[in-house]
């Protein structure tokens, strides 16, 4: 009691700023925010403005974060990090030009970094103008004003998802001000939502655990792998390397619990054998169809970036082999996470390190273990300028995903998606270039728009966004076997006439190779290439243009042949 009284007295002597800073460095943003807001009324200090903005960002209040980063970055003493976070939030809010300004201020002369972020802004703007063939809708019956995500199928009619909705006012996570994440279950109509109960061998519930979820089930839905935050005592956890003397900080890492369904009750049978919460996290498991491969997210040593996707193979005796990295085809130097194996046997996962629209984007790759095809960005509206992740599907055509995009009910929401397959009758095929319709060919019943495809600077490879358009063209050509297509490839104005003519020829050849691989006969494709002639704008030789303007000229256009 004397020790506690002494500690309480010391706390009373701390200034308001010291208390706020203590909460902040302990990642208790919800608690520190209210103190910083009191401080800023007394004194406008750029560091306090930055801390307020950081707190709002970390509790997913992005509109407020944008307001406070704007105030902070107006001060010449603002940190470089504030310009970066402000740019990310402006991108999320689809304010692309302002986001580019802030990215330039952050990266300065680091040309590679700024080019990647500027391309991100351009891709987002371009893809939103040409939505893909998916329809995405908020699954309102399931969502709350809190964070709801990580949905998985539970048999034919059941769903399990993760949420930090308030269930107990005394069980708050001071980082966000919400409850700890728990698992909830319901049927596909979203009715009768209730906590998903899991117990230990003594029958004690895990509902008072720290963060608990998401869950991965095997095909027969009797074995589960559940992502949890370690409940190991602070004394047993190593202090973080950046801990300050007298204020030891530690990270509660993720690990996997293995559970089995026994007489209708889920019982935890142990930890995944490669858990090591003293050194790294393992979580977000996914199982192959046959249950012989488990994929998961981890920051364990030996990866390519901040978090990677790894896998283990099941031995004949039922044990799991050592973790193996899934390889650099799908993993990047940034965060790669949330793997799911769809019913179509494809890998769906989220990444911040591949060309996309900002935040986490969802990608699809074919293969297994460490052998994968080039990941394809699923584009808008599956993806947005916000975080889009955890896509689950039984057939590759419909399912669920999670996103914290604008217009939702909470910080993260669950959305349904469906590929639009039906084609209205008595329509025409429209082959478009920017702002112009080249040809309108009467057809029995298609309603497909083939947009131009675009290339990276000095490249002829088919990008993921271009692949989506070519897939649509392949479908059209298969529906109408007599149809022939003329494809014309171009470059921007930079480099010599001779070089650009050869580059445009290589681009045309790449398109032909892609379509032939998709099953289209070569004699149905007529290729033309024009180098840097026929620009769609005024970005000719020695004219200063933005990269986005040059991008419009690096293209292949399509036209239905007259006969």
Residue-wise pLDDT tens digits, 372-414: 999 999 999 999 999 999 999 999 999 999 999 999 998 999 9
Quote the percentage of the chain above a pLDDT of 70. Answer: 91
Q: Which tens digits make up the pLDDT trace of 128-184?
A: 888 888 999 999 999 999 999 999 999 888 999 999 998 776 677 888 888 999 999
Contacts of 50 (CB under 8 A, 6+ apart): 68, 69, 72, 78, 79, 81, 82
pLDDT above 50 (res 317): yes
Beta bridge partners of 450: 431
Token pair for residue 22? Answer: 């203590």
What would the mean pLDDT of 510-526 be, rounded to a whole number?
91
User: Average pLDDT, whole number, for the chain?
Assistant: 88
Tell me what pLDDT residue 7 has: 46
Q: Angle 29-42/46-58 helices, nearest 10 degrees?
A: 150
Distance CA 131, CA 378 (A): 10
Residues 6+ apart with CB under 8 A from 68: 49, 50, 52, 53, 56
Long-range contacts of 207-210 (CB under 8 A, 24+ apart): 207/182, 208/171, 209/180, 210/180, 210/252
Backbone angles phi, psi at 495, to 5 degrees: 80, 175
**Greatest Cα-to-Cα distance within the chain, rounded to the nearest angstrom:** 94
Grade residue 243 by pLDDT with cuts at 50, 70 and 90.
low
* Pairing outcome for strands 194-195 and 182-187: antiparallel
Give yes or no for residue 245 having a pLDDT over 70. Answer: no
Grade residue 82 by pLDDT with cuts at 50, 70 and 90.
very high
Residue range 319-329: mean pLDDT, rounded: 97
CB–CB of 505/513 below 8 Å?
Answer: no
pLDDT of residue 129: 84
What average pLDDT does the segment 441-460 reach?
Answer: 70
Question: Quick check: 311 and 326 in contact, CB under 8 A?
Answer: yes
Contact 351, 329 (CB under 8 A): no
User: What pLDDT does residue 274 have?
Assistant: 97
In the predicted model, what is the mean pLDDT of residues 453-463? 91
Q: How many other C-beta atoms can be found within 10 angstroms of the C-beta atom of residue 562?
A: 8
pLDDT at 322 over 50: yes
Cα–chain center distance at 406: 15
pLDDT over 50 at 440, yes or no: no
Q: Which of 81-95, 288-302, 417-431 has the lowest mean pLDDT?
A: 417-431
Say what the pLDDT of residue 442 is.
43
- Nearest alpha carbon to residue 362 among 506, 149, 514: 149
Q: Which residues of 105-127 are buried (b: 16+ CB within 10 A; e: fewer)?
A: bbbeeeeeebeebbbbbbbbebb
**Residues 6 or more apart in contact with residue 372 via CB below 8 angstroms:** 326, 327, 329, 330, 347, 365, 366
The per-residue DSSP string of 418-465 comes to EE-----SS-EEEEEETTEEEEEEE-SS---EE--EE--TT--SPPHH
Burial 188-215 (b: 16+ CB within 10 A, else e): eeeeebeebebbeeeeeebbebbbbbbb
The alpha carbons of the chain give a radius of gyration, in whole angstroms, of 26
**37 vs 34: CA distance, rounded Å:** 5
| Whether the predicted pLDDT of 345 surpasses 90 | yes
pLDDT band at 351 (very low <50, low <70, confident <90, very high): very high
pLDDT-based confidence at 563, cuts 50/70/90?
low
Segment among 389-398, 432-441, 475-484, 516-525 with least mean pLDDT: 432-441
Please tell me the distance from the alpha carbon of residue 318 to that of residue 535, in angstroms, as a whole number. Answer: 61
Out of 188-202, 210-224, 245-259, 273-287, pick the least confident. Answer: 245-259
Query: For the segment 4-44, what is each residue's pLDDT rounded down to a tens digit?
Result: 444 444 445 689 999 999 999 989 999 999 999 999 998 88
- Mean pLDDT for 345-362 is 95
Buried b (16+ CB within 10 A) or exposed e, 282-294: bbbbbbbeeeebb
Cα–Cα distances (Å) from 324 to 155, 299, 337, 350, in that order, read 30, 12, 15, 19
What's the pLDDT score for residue 1?
A: 47
Domains annotated for the chain, with CATH where assigned, are 16-129 (1.25.40.10), 134-241+249-419 (2.120.10.30), 428-560 (3.30.1330.60)
Q: What is the DSSP letter of 315?
A: -
Pairing mode, strands 198-199 and 265-271: parallel
User: Given the structure tokens 């279950």, which residue do they identify?
Assistant: 185
Q: What is the pLDDT of residue 156?
A: 86
Task: Dump pLDDT digits (tens) for 410-437.
Answer: 899 999 999 986 444 333 444 444 443 3
For residue 159 the two structure tokens come to 């769903």
Alpha-carbon gap, residue 447 to 464, rounded angstroms: 23
pLDDT for the residue 447: 42
Do 142 and 148 form a contact (C-beta atoms < 8 A)? yes
């Amino acid at each position: 009691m004397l020790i506690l009284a002494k500690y309480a007295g010391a706390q009373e002597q701390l200034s308001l700023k010291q208390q706020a800073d203590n909460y902040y460095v302990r990642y208790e943003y919800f608690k520190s925010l209210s103190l910083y807001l009191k401080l800023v009324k007394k004194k406008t200090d750029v560091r306090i403005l930055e801390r307020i903005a950081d707190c709002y960002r970390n509790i997913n209040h992005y509109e407020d974060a944008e307001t406070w980063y704007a105030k902070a970055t107006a001060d010449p003493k603002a940190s470089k990090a504030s310009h970066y976070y402000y740019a990310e939030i402006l991108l999320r809010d689809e304010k692309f030009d302002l986001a580019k300004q802030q990215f330039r201020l952050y990266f300065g002369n680091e040309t590679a970094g700024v080019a990647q972020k500027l391309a991100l802004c351009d891709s987002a703007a371009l893809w939103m103008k040409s939505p893909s063939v998916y329809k995405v809708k908020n699954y309102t019956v399931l969502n709350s004003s809190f964070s709801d995500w990580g949905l998985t199928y539970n048999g034919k009619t059941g769903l399990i998802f993760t949420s930090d909705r308030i269930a107990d006012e005394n069980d708050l996570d001071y980082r966000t001000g919400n409850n700890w994440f728990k698992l909830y279950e319901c049927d596909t109509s979203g009715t009768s939502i209730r906590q998903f109960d899991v117990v230990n061998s003594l029958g004690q519930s895990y509902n008072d655990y720290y963060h608990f979820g998401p869950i991965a089930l095997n095909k027969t839905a009797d074995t589960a792998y559940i992502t949890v935050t370690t409940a190991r005592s602070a004394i047993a956890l190593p202090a973080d390397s950046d801990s300050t003397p007298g204020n030891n900080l530690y990270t509660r890492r993720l690990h996997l619990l293995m559970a089995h369904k026994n007489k209708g009750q889920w019982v935890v049978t142990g930890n995944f054998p490669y858990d090591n919460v003293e050194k790294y996290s393992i979580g977000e498991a996914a199982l192959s169809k046959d249950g012989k491969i488990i994929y998961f997210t981890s920051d364990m040593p030996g990866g390519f970036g901040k978090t990677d996707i790894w896998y283990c193979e099941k031995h004949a005796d039922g044990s799991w082999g050592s973790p193996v990295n899934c390889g650099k085809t799908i993993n990047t130097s940034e965060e790669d996470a949330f793997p799911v194996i769809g019913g179509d046997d494809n890998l769906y996962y989220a990444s911040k390190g591949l060309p996309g629209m900002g935040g986490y984007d969802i990608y699809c790759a074919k293969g297994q273990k460490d052998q994968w095809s080039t990941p394809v960005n699923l584009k808008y509206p599956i993806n947005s300028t916000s975080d889009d992740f955890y896509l689950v599907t039984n057939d590759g055509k419909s399912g669920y995903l999670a996103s914290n995009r604008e217009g939702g009910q909470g910080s993260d929401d669950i959305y349904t998606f469906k590929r639009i397959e039906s084609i209205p009758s008595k329509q025409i095929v429209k082959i478009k270039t920017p702002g112009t319709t080249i040809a309108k060919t009467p057809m029995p019943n298609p309603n497909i728009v083939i947009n131009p495809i675009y290339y990276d600077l000095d490249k002829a490879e088919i990008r993921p966004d271009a692949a989506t358009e070519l897939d649509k063209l392949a479908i059209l050509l298969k529906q109408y076997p007599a149809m022939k297509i003329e494809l014309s490839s171009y470059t921007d104005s930079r480099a010599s006439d001779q070089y650009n003519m050869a580059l445009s020829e290589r681009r045309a050849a790449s398109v032909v190779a892609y379509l032939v691989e998709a099953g289209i006969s070569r004699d149905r494709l007529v290729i033309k290439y024009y180098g840097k002639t026929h620009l769609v704008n005024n970005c000719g030789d020695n004219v200063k243009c933005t990269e986005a303007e040059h991008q419009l000229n690096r293209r292949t256009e399509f036209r239905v042949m007259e006969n």
